[in-house]
Chain A
Amino acid sequence: MLDSALQIDEAERVSGLADVDRVVDVDAQVQETPGDLLEHMDESSGAHRVISLTDLHHDMIYAGPSSYPLYEYKRTNGTEEPVATDDVGDSIGAAAVAERAGAVGVETGVVNPTLNLGLSEVNNDRFAVALATAYNDWLLAELDATPELVGNAVVAPQHPERAAEEIDRVADEDDIVGIQLPASGVMPPLGHRQYRPIYDAADAHGLPIAMKSTVGNKSFGQQYWWAQSFPEDFVYQHSFVQMRNVTSLLFEGVPERYDVDFVVQGAGLGFVPFFTYRLDDHYLELGYELPALSQLPSAYLSESFHWATQPMDQSGQSLPYFPAMVDMVGPDNVVFASDLPHAVTDTPGTLVDRLAAYLPADDLEAVLGGNAERLYEL
Chain B
Amino acid sequence: MTERYPVADATELSEDGSRVIAEVRGQEIAVFRHDGDYYAVANYCIHQGGPLCEGALSGRMTTSEDGWDWRYDEDEKYVVCPWHGWQFDITTGRSPKDERYAVPTYDVEVDDGTVYAVR
Instruction: Show the binding face of A for B, using Cβ within 8 Å.
Output: 253, 281, 283-289, 291-293, 295-296
Contact partner of A291 (CB less than 8 A), chosen from B62, B98, B101, is B62
Q: List 7 A-B contacts (CB under 8 A).
A: A281-B47, A284-B87, A284-B101, A285-B86, A285-B87, A287-B87, A289-B61
B96 with A287: CB separation less than 8 A:
yes
Pair B61/A291 contact, Cβ less than 8 Å: yes
Chain B interface (Cβ < 8 Å from any Cβ of A): 47, 60-63, 67, 70, 84-87, 95-98, 101
A287–B80 CA distance with the chains assembled, in angstroms: 12
Which of A288, A289, A296 gathers the greatest number of chain B CB atoms within 10 Å? A288
Q: Which residues of A contact B85 (CB under 8 A)?
A: 285-286
Beyond the given A287-B97, A291-B63, could you list 7 further A-B residue pairs with CB under 8 A, ordered by the A residue number? A284-B87, A288-B61, A289-B61, A291-B70, A292-B67, A293-B97, A296-B98
Contact between chains at B67 and A291 (CB < 8 Å) = yes
Q: Knowing A285-B84, A286-B85 touch, does A295 contact B61 (C-beta < 8 A)?
A: no
| B70 and A284 contact, CB distance less than 8 A | no
Interface SS of chain A: helix
A253 and B87: CB pair below 8 A?
Answer: no
Q: In the complex the two chains form, what is the Cα distance from A285 to B67 in whole Å?
A: 20
Bound-complex Cα distance A291 to B101 (A): 18
Contact A284–B61 (Cβ < 8 Å): no
| A284 B97 Cβ-Cβ under 8 A | yes
* B38 CB to nearest A CB, Å: 25
Q: Measured between alpha carbons, how far is A288 from B62 in the docked complex, in Å?
A: 7
In the assembled complex, which residues on chain B have CB atoms less than 8 Å from the CB atom of A288? Answer: 60-61
The 9 closest A-B pairs by CB, nearest first: A288-B61, A285-B85, A291-B63, A287-B97, A284-B86, A296-B98, A288-B60, A284-B97, A285-B86
Contacts A281-B84, A284-B87, A286-B85 given; does A295 touch B98 at CB 8 Å: yes
Most chain B beta-carbon contacts within 10 A, residue among A283, A284, A285, A292: A284
Bound form: Cα–Cα A316–B62 in Å: 51
Q: How far is the CA of A300 from the CA of B62 in the complex (A)?
A: 21
By the criterion CB–CB under 8 Å, are A283 and B97 in contact?
A: yes
Q: Which residues of chain B come closer than 8 Å to A293, judged between CB atoms?
A: 97
| Chain B residues with CB below 8 A from A283, complex form | 97
Chain A residues with Cβ below 8 Å from B101 are 284
Whether the Cβ atoms of A284 and B98 lie closer than 8 Å is: yes
In the bound complex, residues from chain B placing their C-beta under 8 Å from that of A292 are 63, 67
Question: In the complex, which residues of chain A have a beta carbon less than 8 angstroms from the beta carbon of B97?
Answer: 283-284, 287, 293, 296
Residue of chain A at shortest CB distance from B81: A285
CB distance from B9 to the nearest CB of A (A): 34
Least CB separation from A294: chain B residue: B97
Give, as a whole number of angstroms, the nearest-CB distance from B95 to chain A: 6
Q: Which residue of B lies closest to A293 (CB)?
A: B97
| Assembled-state Cα–Cα distance A253/B70 (Å) | 15
